[in-house]
Amino acid sequence: MLRLSRKAEYGIIALKYMLSRPAGQTCSAREIAERYNIPVELMAKVLQKLAKDGMLQSAQGVYGGYGLALPPARISVADIVESIDGPIGIVECVTSEEECKCVQYTTGVCNISDPFVRIQGKFKNFLSGISLVDLN
């Protein structure tokens, strides 16, 4: 079954929540976690990763928190998922930097590698075409 990780879901939830806030207003990991019943520590890690990858900006202090660092139309579902989970992949051999190590590929009988490279590209393009704005 093809599915997003729970962390990627939490990232999408957090960014969509930030989109609903007034421009320039920050929110804390705790605020989002409590609103959506997500463990605070996990939400904090997700937000830190998104900030490290440039989608969020963070501010320290009493009035600190996280806010969008980019216009919502420039943040795609693919960006969020790849920030949290790494490269989007349907099968391991499509996303691995190394040559596939499955027995079918190494013995020369794999018949899905080439088609899945094409499917992978289409799937990533599809997710790249869905921006944060489209989720609103």
Mean pLDDT by 10 residues, the chain (136 residues): 88 95 89 97 97 93 87 96 90 70 79 85 94 93
Q: Is residue 99 part of a domain?
A: yes
Give a yes or no: residue 51 inside a domain: yes
Asked, for residue 68, whether it belongs to a domain, the answer is: yes
Domain that holds residue 102: 6-135
Identify the pLDDT of residue 37: 97
Position 1 in a domain: no
Number of domains in the chain: 1
pLDDT of residue 113: 78
Nearest Cα residue to 79 out of 5, 115, 26, 132? 132
Residue with tokens 């190394």: 98
CB atoms within 10 A of CB 88: 19
Structural domain includes residue 118: yes
pLDDT the model gives residue 1? 56
CATH code for position 96? 1.10.10.10
pLDDT attached to residue 98: 67
Query: What pLDDT is attached to residue 56?
Result: 96
Q: What is the pLDDT of residue 136?
A: 84
The closest of 16, 24, 132, 124 to 78, measured between CA atoms, is 124
